Structure 1
């Protein structure tokens, strides 16, 4: 019978590579002991693999702050600990409009046991449908009119869209049914003051609210603000900076594409919205860090009317580090009304505008805004402006610098200052700005008038006193009106610097900016020879393509501005379906 041969003695290198259990006796106790020893040695040789749970909470919070909302929701589903951390970043900022769907979503969020405590910022868009409501015939006419304007504009740009056929009447009627539904819901809210009630209810639960923004007439949508103080995410489709928060956000009115000129209530722009949210903040006793509001009709500041306003807030605005305010001093004018008005109608509209500006001017002389700003000692960002002053007379300004700024006051932390639509003197402006030179990093002047003094003296003074080459930005836009100070040159000064958010900055504005920031530029860029008056072209004019600033901004954005509003593109309104939050 065949027997297996005895194995030869294996070489030492083979023995050393054999598993330990093959080199030891095979008793059960010995085997178990050796397995434990092997496991211990193995654990000593290889470090433990880290998981998310091993990271410090601070790092996890930092990671969440950079995640999109969809990823934050997935992150929260991992386990209880990560769920609690993710909840802090699920809804730091909410964008909403005066609309039933949006208010229902706010209530849903406020009823959640975790989310309200971590809401840091509320952005209230003032877009509403104009009243009275259009009937079907008027709505169809509005649609066809807008389609013709689009076709004409696209034809000038040789776009394929110029040949797009009009919408079928059936689609227009379907759009009208949506328009009617939204308008009826809007009337129900305003007639019953539901906006005041709901905001009081939800804001009272947002105990860590720090920032409030009220945006009317596209303010803060085209670059008016810098980055958010907490690096928040904007669920309307923004890119993470405040200036884009509303620019890309879809609204409840998007399906009504024939009505692109949505804005606040005529003659009361932003007043109802700002009043409602401030009342809610006051009721909750919340001390804000940031407040931005614009356009706000000047009547909001009239304490004599007896309505709730800034004067009713007590000390709740004392801790503000950011205050941005843009006031509308006169009635807003519908471009269509201007286009079809005859000489008598135009004259009447001009009288109405001038009358309101004078009334605004009288109210500002009382120092109602100056007193407000005086009570904000911690300001880091301050922006105060007046927009759309009388076009018929460039020398009627609704407020002076001393009306809105305490010129003898120092804000030790002031980093950014923007002034717009004000008149002052060279000495007043220089003294106030230079007093803040140790902290000031950004300065912007827009549509300013020096009443009896010269810009050609102001610019060299500011550059010398501020050491502007050490600052981040110094810029002048819009109108720069002044008066020559030399004995032989006491004549009007007038330069137009453009607008980087509408037409684009002029070459002269760029030279002024370089003059401040580049020490090698020695000559003041403003002179009698390069003075240029404000152009008469209106942004809404159908001849906009002939404007000298054509092409400075992208054509698609210019097209939307011509049509009366920006096209808010993004991933959708976060309030479309409240259940998606949970």
Structure 2
């Protein structure tokens, strides 16, 4: 059968299996293919504080047909670093580190690349401080009626038109500031500049009262990649009071939230506010997310010792749940995944019990109980909820009898690290069983996944 006799809806579905290069190629075949491949080509669009990327985004948003195909906005949160853009010597030093091994050129080439990097940084800051990015987003949202998903990416992402220009220039992202920022700008200024995109997204959505966004996802860097981008940190939730209502508007319509948060522990050169201040806005946003059905929150850079993970502001015998999440009640919650946390068993049980009527999927990963037992939580799930899928992966208790988990040998930690999954037995009853050995975060060998 010829393609021309297939229903248009079927052609669109077939072309959905092609990547962007394939879609662009097939659009050249004929008018029919151009029309039926365009919905997939323009379904996801990139937004970034760079003139090339912003211009392409604006062109799509103003096109009378393509603007209706856009369903997902992907914001590239990676930023060019002030320390490298304003200090040529620091830029040249950074070229010698392993992260920059692919960008080493001769001296003349380095000088030219530094000037390009400097110009891109100036463009980025001009777009940010002048309000161009905010107003472009506002106008685009007013003409894009079908956007239902927002992705905040650490990047670095680029549109094809930028690829040649950026090929030999140091990539945007976190690895830059580790060598250069301290002598050029203080840490709060770096954070404000690096996390501004999150505030702009929320502000633009609130400004036009856009109610169509149902999914908000924050991505994490690809594993084993030097391109770490600029990860979302807890500082992103230091939302100005005037923007908080915009954030509440966004969260009050969400159905799915995926939120990995990189925690930056205080150090000798880190000027950090109290973590409870950073998370105050997040607690408010989560409190108003009454339509939410699927929640996944991960505190990144997890460590088994809360003293080292959360820094001086956290009581190692305390619970991070009231600080990061508060005590929310989500009437429609069906799926909950929490990772990278230290908490009291009582706080975890209360959270589960508040959603016992609706919750069907539950998962805890790299999670340490600073007080209480996982066995009690398992019993709560089995006896008091309707959960159908329940999983633990590499969880532990901070105290095993009178022995601190962190003071144990690697083998002992593996023995007291649990993983398991809930299954139905032959009689139709739910049971919680250990699963196959999985890799431990404490040592290369697999952890012993048995639950007492």
What TM-score do you get using the length of structure 2 for normalisation?
0.71
Structure 1 residues 320, 515: CA separation in 2 closer, same or farther (over 3 Å shift)? closer
Structure 1 Cα separation of the partners of residues 324 and 338 of structure 2: 12
Q: 2:285 aligns with which of 367, 372, 385?
A: 372
Judge conservation of contact 2:252–2:288 (CA < 8 Å) in 1: yes
Check if 1:361 corresponds to 2:276: yes
Tell me: CA distance 1:252–1:415, structure 2 relative to 1, closer, same or farther (3 Å): farther
Deviation at 1:440, TM superposition (A): 2.7
In 2, the alpha carbon distance for the partners of 1:251 and 1:455 equals: 53
> Which residue of structure 1 aligns with residue 195 of structure 2?
271
Residue 482 of structure 1 pairs with residue 386 of structure 2 = no
Equivalents in 1 of 2:312, 2:378: separation in Å?
A: 25
1:116 and 2:67 are equivalent in the alignment:
yes
Q: Secondary structure at the match of 1:88?
A: helix
Of 294, 300, 319, the match for 1:381 = 294
The Cα shift of 1:69 comes to 2.5
Residue matched to 2:428: none
Q: Which position in structure 2 is the counterpart of 1:289?
A: 214
| 2:404 paired with 1:513 | no
Aligned residue for 2:450? none
Report SS of the residue matched to 2:42: coil
Report deviation, 1:171.
Answer: 2.7
The offset of 1:60, in angstroms, is 2.0
Query: Residue 175 of structure 1: SS of its match in structure 2?
Result: helix
> Which is further off, 265-274 or 77-86?
77-86
* Unaligned ranges ≥5, structure 1: 1-49, 151-160, 222-233, 238-248, 333-345, 499-505, 526-531, 536-547, 552-582
In structure 2, the CA distance between the partners of 1:404 and 1:173, relative to structure 1 (3 Å rule), is closer
Q: Give the deviation of 1:209 after TM superposition.
A: 0.9
Residues 507 and 63 of structure 1: is their aligned pair in 2 closer, same or farther, counting only changes over 3 Å?
farther
Task: Measure the CA separation in 1 of the matches of 2:322 and 2:165.
Answer: 41
**Contact in 2 for aligned 1:120/1:210 (Cα 8 Å):** yes
CA distance in 2: counterparts of 1:55 and 1:404, whole angstroms: 52
- Residue number in structure 2 paired with 1:471: 389
- More RCO (CA 8 Å, sep 6+): 1
Q: Does 1:255 align with 2:168?
A: yes
1:143 to 92, 95, 119: 95
Matches within 5 A, 1:26-41: none
Query: Are residues 422 and 396 of structure 1, via their aligned partners in 2, closer, same or farther at CA, if it must alter by over 3 Å?
Result: same
Give, in whole Å, the separation in 2 of the partners of 1:377 and 1:289.
Answer: 12
What residue number does 2:136 align with?
198
Structure 1 residues 253, 457: CA separation in 2 closer, same or farther (over 3 Å shift)?
farther
Answering whether residue 391 of structure 2 is matched by residue 453 of structure 1, we say no
Gap change, CA 1:91 and 1:298, over 3 Å in 2: same
Q: CA deviation at 1:178?
A: 2.3
The CA distance in 2 between the partners of 1:402 and 1:331, in whole Å, is: 18
Q: Distance in 1 between matches of 2:264 and 2:434?
A: 39
1:112-134 per-residue CA deviation (whole Å, 9 max, x = no partner) reads 22111111111112211211424
Name the CA shift for 1:331/1:58 in 2 (closer, same or farther; >3 Å). Answer: same
Partners of 2:391 and 2:420 within 8 A in 1: no
| Shift of residue 329, structure 1, vs aligned partner | 5.3
Q: Determine if the alignment matches structure 1 residue 125 to structure 2 residue 90.
A: no
1:85 pairs with 2:36? yes
What residue in structure 1 maps to residue 227 of structure 2? none
Q: Which residue of 1 aligns with 2:113?
A: 175
Would you say 1:409 and 2:329 are equivalent positions? yes
C-alpha distance in 2, partners of 1:251/1:325? 32
Counterparts in 2 of 1:144 and 1:427: CA distance versus 1, 3 Å: closer
Candidates 103, 106, 120, aligned match of 2:57: 106
> Which aligned pairs between 1:520-559 and structure 2 lie closer than 5 A?
548-549=443-444
Q: CA deviation at 1:306?
A: 3.4
Q: Distance in 1 between matches of 2:415 and 2:423?
A: 14
Query: Structure 1 residues 251 and 196 mapped into 2: Cα distance closer, same or farther (>3 Å)?
Result: farther
Note closer, same or farther for the CA distance 1:75–1:442 as it changes in structure 2 (3 Å cut).
Answer: farther
Which 5+ residue runs of structure 2 have no aligned equivalent? 178-186, 220-230, 426-430, 447-452
Aligned residues: 403
Would you say the 8 A contact 1:189–1:195 is kept in 2? yes
Structure ID, larger Rg: 1
Alignment of 1:161-172 (within 5 A): 167-172=105-110
Is contact 2:238-2:277 (8 Å) kept?
Answer: no
Task: Spell out the pairing of 1:202-351 with structure 2 (5 A cutoff).
Answer: 202-216=140-154, 253-257=166-170, 261-262=175-176, 266-268=190-192, 271-287=195-211, 288-293=213-218, 295-302=231-238, 305-309=240-244, 311-313=245-247, 315-328=249-262, 330=264, 348-349=268-269
Distance 1:324 1:444 in 2: 14
Q: What does the per-residue CA deviation read over 1:466-488, in whole Å, with 9 as the maximum and x for residues that have no partner?
A: 698x52754246xx45345xxxx
Q: Tell me the distance in 1 between the aligned counterparts of 2:294 and 2:35.
A: 33
Deviation at 1:215, TM superposition (A): 2.9
- 1:211 shift after superposition: 1.0
Other-structure match for 1:559: none
Match of 2:364 in 1: 444
CA apart distance, 1:103: 1.0
Residue 6 of structure 1: aligned partner: none
Residue in 2 aligned with 1:433?
352
Q: CA RMSD, aligned part only?
A: 4.5
Distance of 1:83 and 1:166 partners within structure 2? 41
**Secondary structure of 1:144's match?**
coil
